[in-house]
Amino acid sequence: MPARCVARAVEMVQCKTINEKAIAHAEIVIEGELVPNVRVREDQNTHTGRAMPEFPGYTGEAKEAIPVIKVKAVTHRTQPIWRTTVGPGEEHVNMAGIPTEASILDMVERAMPGQITQRLRPLGRRRQTTGGTAI
């Protein structure tokens, strides 16, 4: 895909520690290898039985055995651009809240028809009330 954006071949270079190629002008390159025949519990440090939460805050049961990656080198451009999605931040929660709210309202309406009469708007912080049962 990157080659299509610039209409020329993507320049590749040899990695520093493994026999693979990396994009020559990548912001950051993490070189590593999967350790053969080695697996660890996903919650090996916390022993909670729970997986590390995904960015919107969802979690699940820890996997019994996940692969181990041994990082061998990290290289980067001078002052690389580091984009990250760390959450759940307000933007992620608000974005996820739109379809989540629609799903919840639909389920409540099917379970208790006509009972949804009040809701709190997450961004405007205004109440909308028309009487009846508030949720």
Question: Which residues are the active-site residues?
Answer: 54
In the chain the first and final C-alpha atoms are separated, in Å, by 47
Distance of alpha carbon 56 from alpha carbon 89, whole angstroms: 8
How far apart CA 79 and CA 15 sit, in angstroms, is 20
The encoded tokens of residue 58 equal 């969802």
Q: E strands of the chain, at which residues?
A: 12-14, 21-23, 28-40, 66-76, 118-120, 127-129
